[in-house]
Amino acid sequence: MSIEVRGVNKSYGDFVALEDINVSIPTGQLTALLGPSGGGKSTLLRIIAGLESSDSGTVEIAGREATHLPPQKRNVGFVFQHYAVFKHMSVAKNVAFGLEIRKRPKAEVKAKVAELLKLVHLSQFENRLPGQLSGGQRQRLALARALAVEPNVLLLDEPFGALDAKVRKELRDWLRRLHDEVHVTTVFVTHDQEEAMEVSDEIVVINEGRVEQIGSPDDLYDAPANPFVMGFLGEVTHLGGQTLRPHDIDVALDPLAKGAISGTITRMLRVGFEVRLTVATDDGADVLVVLTRTHARSLDLAEGARVWLSPVAGATSVRSMVAV
Ligand code: ADP
Ligand code: MG
């Protein structure tokens, strides 16, 4: 394990920001800290980096007890949402900076800078100032700078959060490929479930200062620990006291399935290749059902039709927290 966080608590006054956090971050993997805004992700990342101290608990980095080490002794690279590059230094100088203050030989610095700029696809911009780069290029520069000193772990706090959707998506693919090349243990904070699902090997879901679940993107999607995780990672609806995915509900025109719940289609919406139904069940709930256009057509569904709903075999489900 590259990072071991054990029993970490952190309060601001009487507000509990983190409560008994236990997380192991495997070496060489890309791990996402995912959760809604205000959940404590940045606080945890800052405690790992040494930029914030915990009230109790310990942090170990690369096998070394680090709880009371200052940030500069932890050998971590850090990239924030807002680019912290030196505005008056060229792209190449920015990347060289960390190596120069460590007094590495000139030839080594030169080679390392060239290698890193190639890795982040900024070689042709080495003489530009950061102000002459796009937002996405500046974040790639920030990453190259963080990687220059060969950190044990790379900590990224919503690094693409300030960029527009298209650039974010490009950088997300790029980060995945970069990680496949350099394999540095990386912790990536995001509130965007799609971003976390696409880039990470493992996801730690954090909500209201607590870890809700830890697992691979598939684990979390297919076997969510609770309604919160299930709802955060994808669309959900409620049927007969269970939280289900809307595409995991079978629609029948007769009450053949055992325990099927009857209702009336109150709304039918075609969106691309799918059809989204709202079914008002006879027990007074609104259930969302998603099926393919072909399937809806084969059933000849229409608003006002009577239908019977039941979970498909093998549906992902958790018991709802509130009775419905
Ligand atoms: P996230 O990164 O998941 O959005 P944060 O870790 O930034 O969440 O914050 C978690 C909670 O702790 C928030 O409610 C935030 O307002 C609070 N918080 C964070 N830093 C401080 C601070 N320095 N003083 C007081 N409250 C803070
Ligand atoms: Mg944050």
More confident residue, 163 or 239: 239
Quick one: how far is CA 309 from the chain centroid? 33
Whose alpha carbon is nearest atom 24 of ligand 1? 12
Nearest atom (ligand 1) to Cα of 46: 6
**Mean pLDDT within 277-284:** 96
Q: Which residues contact 129 (CB under 8 A, 6 or more apart)?
A: 87, 88, 89, 90, 91
**Mean pLDDT within 219-225:** 94
Q: For residue 53, report the distance from its CA to the centre of ligand 1, in Å.
A: 13
Per residue in 268-277, pLDDT (tens digit) is: 999 999 999 9
Residue 153 has pLDDT above 80, yes or no: yes
How far apart are the C-alpha atoms of 105 and 297, rounded to whole Å? 70
Q: For residue 81, report the distance from its CA to the centre of ligand 2, in Å.
A: 9
Pocket (CB within 6 angstroms of ligand 1): 12, 17, 35, 37-43
The rounded percent of the chain whose pLDDT value lies above 90 is 79
CB atoms within 10 A of CB 163: 18
Token pair 């039709």 in the structure block, residue: 305
Q: What is the model's pLDDT at position 1?
A: 75
Q: What is the model's pLDDT at position 164?
A: 84
Measured torsion, CA atoms of residues 214, 216, 220, 223, in degrees rounded to the nearest 10: -100
Ligand nearest to the CA of 16: 1
How far apart are the C-alpha atoms of 266 and 306, rounded to whole Å? 10
Q: What is the model's pLDDT at position 149?
A: 86
Radius of gyration of the chain (CA): 24
What is the chain's mean pLDDT, rounded?
Answer: 93
Contact 149, 94 (CB under 8 A): no
Q: What is the model's pLDDT at position 167?
A: 83
Q: Which residues contact 90 (CB under 8 A, 6 or more apart)?
A: 126, 127, 128, 129
Whose alpha carbon is nearest atom 25 of ligand 1? 12
Ligand nearest to the CA of 14: 1
Name the pLDDT band for 84 (thresholds 50, 70, 90): confident
Q: For residue 158, report the distance from its CA to the centre of ligand 1, in Å.
A: 14
Residue 135 has pLDDT above 90, yes or no: no
**Mean pLDDT within 111-131:** 93
Per residue in 30-60, pLDDT (tens digit) is: 999 999 999 999 999 999 999 999 999 999 9
Residue of 14, 19, 42, 190 best suited for mutating to test ligand 1, as the one with most atoms within 8 Å of CB: 42
Nearest atom (ligand 1) to Cα of 43: 6
Nearest atom (ligand 1) to Cα of 36: 3
Q: What is the model's pLDDT at position 165?
A: 85
Q: Which of 214, 216, 215, 220 is nearest to 232 (CA)?
A: 220
Ligand nearest to the CA of 48: 1
Q: Coil, helix or strand for 71?
A: helix
Q: What is the model's pLDDT at position 298?
A: 95
Q: For residue 34, report the distance from its CA to the centre of ligand 1, in Å.
A: 15
| Protein residues placing their CB within 5 Å of the ion ligand 2 | 42
Residue 225 has pLDDT above 70, yes or no: yes
Q: Which of 4, 282, 30, 288 is nearest to 181 (CA)?
A: 30
Name the pLDDT band for 324 (thresholds 50, 70, 90): very low
Residue of 5, 14, 15 best suited for mutating to test ligand 1, as the one with most atoms within 8 Å of CB: 15
